[in-house]
Amino acid sequence: MPQLTEERRDQLDNDQFAYMDSSGERKLPIHDEAHVRNAIARFSQTDFEDKSARKAAAHRIIRAAGRYGILLEDDDASSAPARPDASHGLRSPVIPGAPLSRYSEKD
């Protein structure tokens, strides 16, 4: 993963992070493919202020993963609860209410 220096991190827009807490601390950069993969891996280690913040961050990570063609498995994405999608017979790590833009077949 390319090093993200403090100077470069400061130059990123807020929308290039999956989560920003109420004090303004930005967490989980998602500005490139390597950092999206890292955000997926570190999601379960991140402290969120509430469930809606966690849901919004998961949604942002899932959308970013789709932009980079990263297919999420049930054990990925953030340790978000997986749900069956009856119309496709697939499982997605998407939190309820998030769009289902990428799928990975359940083996």
Structural domains of the chain, count: 1
Domain for residue 100, yes or no?
no
Question: What is the 3-state secondary structure of the chain?
Answer: CCCCCHHHHHHCCHHHEEEECCCCCEEEECCCHHHHHHHHHHHHHCCCCCHHHHHHHHHHHHHHHHHCCCCCCCCCHHHCCCEEECCCCEEECCCCCCCCCCCECCC
Domain for residue 62, yes or no?
yes
Domain for residue 97, yes or no?
no
Q: Tell me, what's the pLDDT at 74?
A: 64
Domain for residue 86, yes or no?
yes
Domain for residue 107, yes or no?
no
Q: What percent of the chain has pLDDT over 70?
A: 68
Q: What domain range includes position 31?
A: 6-92
Residues 26-56 pLDDT 10s: 999 999 999 999 999 999 999 999 999 999 9
Q: Tell me, what's the pLDDT at 84?
A: 35
Domain for residue 105, yes or no?
no
Q: Block means of pLDDT (10 residues each) for the chain, length 107 residues?
A: 88 96 96 95 94 95 94 62 36 42 42
